[in-house]
A and B are shown apart, each in its own frame.
Chain A
């Protein structure tokens, strides 16, 4: 087996992974050895699909904005589940991150005076979302990738699928990955590790996310015994194109788009009188689903999906072309509708997973609910739950989060390596060989079940039973269905036995990750008997701060799933009623 020795391995190459790589490299004077291990080509991570922008208070005087206000908006948007110390770090550091991206080449939209332009976004009381047309994530990814290429001490391992993490006691020791080109299993041996593998919205079938958003890093951490936090909170983006689920950015409403039901009414005035279409995503999603339930929606002929209209026809054509070119391109190419002349059919789709690996405000992964950090392990971006988003993320805060904690983790790594030299290497090779044997065993499994069938059944279960509104009876039905799928996973059959680019094997491993994570989502949802942010229970329509102002901590205990709770950190803002 090929053994590769590094000072640090970064799993995932999205915004979180690449910013970590850059800052670790710069902080360590380009002397430490860094590996970025990614299952895609590094510049193709799902961060490229981020459209609307990145939040941060750039010009407090000119816009009458403040860091405190950004933090308050975020806390209120989170329905008070966010840790407020973490939110303050986010709001404080975000402006510098936007400038950092300017310095490495992102093509921000500019004002007439040449400074960075900002647009309104859902739940933000003042326009503070910097943007590069509606391809912000893409431009940031390209700038980061190009920057990493020039660093010299960062090796990128494209198309290496990580299959397990190894710990040496409480310290990270290494990870195994399958090289997709040859199917060879490689061992990455390192003293430190950053997990930046993104979210897992692909547990849903109708989702805005890429096919690759399967939460691999979160599932790996979970299987390695590390705790996960707030997994029941899944954000549904209100405006996903029917029938494909392709994202229509919130910026479409930020630039003035209307949501309309089949009577032509702007129905948001019934649900959020002052913010209208720019209320936070959980509220808009619930509004759309309620409208549809009341019979005010349309039905899509081919897919049978219900939907409402996102109307951009009244917007200035020049503005649409300058600020939302991708929306136009996508809707014409995928459903043959020109947003200039016709409204777009949209409905809520799984978009972002607020939950993730339990980390502290330094981005360090926790060993248990008590708050002891694991040695040399960080999780950044969507896969790490800090938590700044609480039970509902505000649009454009995710890119800030990736960048801020990418920098925090990256800056911490060189010092950590210096103070804590890695002792790994003794029996880790044996563990890696056992992992290789497990993968080969999976290939030889003479089962009867097509793994893709499990995937589609899982996605249908989640789409039908764990959507915007949740019911205990439906959640328990979903739990039973997921457990049955888990049982059947032992009986899968991998058709492709080849060595070159065996995507059948990769997909099967991804499906295992999805099944594990879906169970945690549903279990957390069943136990949270309240409605908070994105988690809306039909039986418990009110937020319950007495019993549930706390984070759910899920971890694998004795082969089963154990749930624990820890308190939310409140600093300046006491929970109050959330009205928009």
Chain B
């Protein structure tokens, strides 16, 4: 599900169209062209407004993408009060109530199911959901693989925060009523239950040319000697190369969630990762690549991405660094 071309007309045309019409309205009034023309203008503005509203709705339906600011309708799901029959008890075990919001692809609603599971002080949210899936409800869908916070599969929203489920301890995150609420990331199109669609996310990442560019391609691939890189040069890009592509920053970003044209924090952080690498020879062409309204200049520095990032990449900081570099380049020409 790629970003629809429809959104170009439905989001941007109205955004440009409304100021143009306002300008015309002022001109018309200034020249006293009469009420008939005004009526036409008012009507066409109303039409555009309707067009915009319908357009926005289209974007959402197209991407199956509920937004944070649009509270997704929730249906009453069933409550499953089953506890697994695990007999290995010990005094420190507790029962947790997992309230899992599951996206139903048929009804397009989020349905909350409640499960109870036995946990101990080592249990992660991921362990607990896998346990529930295996013993109580095999239809639960979520992604997981490495369970050690490095593959980036299990991003979800736990107690309202976008986190990796495998790194989230149950005991530490239990609410007072011994419950935990889990929901899918809503900054990506929903697919089923806790699973979201990453195609758009990956194509954004691919669009910023995320690889080392060398002027001499043969020399790049037929490596007989390593490139020399000092520790300082390494440290300039190292923090930004920790990105595991989990998508949590995009889920957290308030800008990309209202403006789907903004490329988002993950891709931009990776521009900085390659721009700062002393081995890369694309140089300032990387800056030209992102010196656009839809790239760095759409970032409003809310910083949510950096709070959400489980690997400390700090995308918000990288975007401001890119802005600084672009300004420096444009002002000094160097």
A interface with B by C-beta (< 8 Å): 26, 40-41, 43-46, 48-49, 58, 96, 98-100, 102-105, 107-110, 112-116, 135, 138-139, 142-143, 146-147, 149-150, 158, 181, 210-212, 243-244, 246-247, 301-304, 326, 329-330, 333-336, 450-452, 455-456, 494-496, 498, 500-504, 507
Known A40-B145, A105-B274, A107-B237: A501·B134 in contact at CB below 8 Å: no
User: What is the interface size of chain B, counting residues whose CB is below 8 A from a CB of the partner?
Assistant: 71
**B231: which of A110, A210, A500, A502 is its contact (CB, 8 Å)?**
A110
Determine if A142 and B243 form an interchain contact, defined as CB atoms under 8 angstroms apart. Answer: yes
Asked whether any CB of chain A lies closer than 8 Å to the CB of B20, the reply is no
Within 8 A of A (CB), among B12-69: none
A347 CA / B9 CA spacing, docked (Å): 60
- Known A107-B234, A114-B229; 19 more pairs at CB < 8 Å: A41-B245, A44-B146, A96-B224, A99-B226, A102-B226, A103-B214, A103-B226, A105-B211, A116-B226, A181-B197, A211-B130, A326-B150, A333-B149, A336-B121, A496-B138, A501-B141, A501-B193, A501-B195, A504-B138
Q: B221 to A334, Cβ gap below 8 A?
A: no
Interface 0/1 of B148-180, CB less than 8 Å to A: 111111000000000000010100000000000
**Pairwise interchain contact A244-B147, C-beta atoms closer than 8 A:** yes
Tally the A-B contacts, defined by beta carbons under 8 Å: 185
User: Which residues does chain B contribute within 8 Å of A302, judged by CB atoms?
Assistant: 90, 92-93, 120-122
A-B contact pairs, 19 of them (CB 8 A): A99-B225, A105-B241, A110-B229, A113-B228, A142-B243, A146-B210, A212-B145, A246-B148, A301-B90, A302-B122, A336-B169, A450-B138, A452-B133, A452-B135, A452-B138, A498-B139, A500-B192, A501-B192, A502-B141
Name the contact of A211 in the complex, choosing from B144, B193, B209 (C-beta under 8 A): B144
B137 proximity list for chain A (CB < 8 A): 495
Report the 7 A-B pairs with minimum CB-CB distance, sorted nearest first: A452-B134, A99-B223, A114-B228, A500-B192, A496-B139, A44-B151, A495-B138
On chain B, the residues within 8 Å of A114 by CB distance are 228-231, 233
Q: Is B11 an interface residue (CB 8 A)?
A: no
Q: Is there contact, CB below 8 Å, between A211 and B229? A: no
Q: Smallest CB–CB gap between A101 and chain B, Å?
A: 9
Contacts of B244 in A (CB 8 A): 48, 138
User: Is A49 in contact with B150, judged by CB distance below 8 angstroms?
Assistant: yes
Partner of A334 from the list B122, B143, B210, B211 (CB cut-off 8 Å) is B122
Given that A96-B224, A103-B221 are contacting pairs, would A40 and B153 also be in contact in the complex, using a CB cutoff of 8 Å? Answer: yes
CB of A498 within 8 A of CB of B192, answer: yes
What CA separation (Å) do A114 and B245 show in the bound complex?
A: 29
State A410–B162 Cα separation when bound (angstroms): 39
Chain B interfacial positions (CB closer than 8 Å to A): 88, 90, 92-93, 105, 120-122, 124, 127, 130, 133-135, 137-139, 141-153, 167, 169, 191-193, 195, 197-199, 202, 205-206, 209-212, 214, 220-221, 223-231, 233-234, 237-238, 241-245, 274, 277, 279-280
Q: How far is the CA of A503 from the CA of B147 in the complex (A)?
A: 17
Please indicate the chain A residues that have their CB under 8 angstroms from the CB of B152 in the complex.
41, 43-44
* A334-B198 contact, Cβ under 8 Å, with A112-B231, A301-B90: no
> Residue B277 contacts which of A105, A243, A500 (CB distance < 8 angstroms)?
A105
Pick from B120, B150, B202, B226: contact of A138, CB under 8 Å: B150
- In the complex, A243 Cα to B277 Cα: how many Å? 39
Q: Are B191 and A48 in contact (CB under 8 A)?
A: no
Task: List residues of chain B with CB within 8 A of the CB of A212.
Answer: 145
Contact present for A210 and B147 (CB under 8 Å): yes
Cβ–Cβ contact B231 & A103, under 8 A:
no
Decide if A49 touches B151 in the complex (CB within 8 Å).
yes
Known contacts A450-B138, A456-B134, A503-B141; A48 and B238 CB within 8 A of each other: no
